[in-house]
Structure 1
Amino acid sequence: MGAVTEIFGINVGDAGLGALLTLVILLILTGKLVPRRTHEDVITDRDNWRQAYLESEKARKVEHEQTGELLEMARLGGHILTALPHPGQADEEEVSRGDRMDQAPRTRM
C-alpha cells in the first residue's frame, strides 16, 4: 500500500466528502487554489508588464545614447566658446583704451 499523506493535519485516506470540501475551501481561502480564469488573467497581466518593461528599456537605451551624443556636443561647444578670444582683447596682446570698439565718451557721475 502507498504512503498516506496528510493535508492540514487531515489524513486523506480517512477523509470523507465533507472533509474534502472543507479542504478545497481552505485551499481557496489560503490562496493555494485559484480558479483557472484568475490564473490565466495573472499570466496575461504578467506578460503585458514584461512587454511594457522591454519597450521601456529599449526607449531608455535610445535616450541614453542620445544623451551621450548631446553631452559630447555640449563639451565641443564649450571648448569652442573657451577658445574664442574674449571681447576687448586680441589673441596675445592687450587692447589699449583707445582701441576699444565703443568710442562713445564716458561720463562720470
Structure 2
Amino acid sequence: MSMNLPKPIAEFIAANARLDMDGMMEPFLPDAIFIDNGKRIEGQAAIRQLFEEEVMPVNAIFEPDTVREDGGDIILEGPAHGDFPGSPLRFTYRFTLSEGAIKMLETTV
C-alpha cells in the first residue's frame, strides 16, 4: 500500500499488517470510539478487548486499496483477509482524527 495517509492511520494499518496489538492501539485517543458494523465500543480498553476477541484470533488484516476524504474524515476501502468465513471481505474504514490521533473509527462491510 503506497498511500499518503495521516500518521495515526498509517501506523494503525501498518501495525494491523503485523498483527501487533500494542501498535494497533497506540494511535487511538484514550476515549476513542470504535463502531463495528453499528456496534459502538468506547474507550481504549474496550477497543483492545474487541480486537483481542475478534481480530487477533482470526488473523484479520485490512489492506486498503482506495482512500478519500469526506467532511474531514479519511475513508479507506479494501479487502480484509484472515481465518474467517467469506475471507476476504471488502470493508470500509472511516477515521475521524483529533489531536493527532484516532478519535473514531467506523468499519462497515
* Same-fold call, TM cutoff 0.5: no
Larger radius of gyration: 1
TM-score using structure 1 length: 0.17
Considering fraction of residues, name the structure with more helix. 1
Considering fraction of residues, name the structure with more strand. 2
TM-score using structure 2 length: 0.17
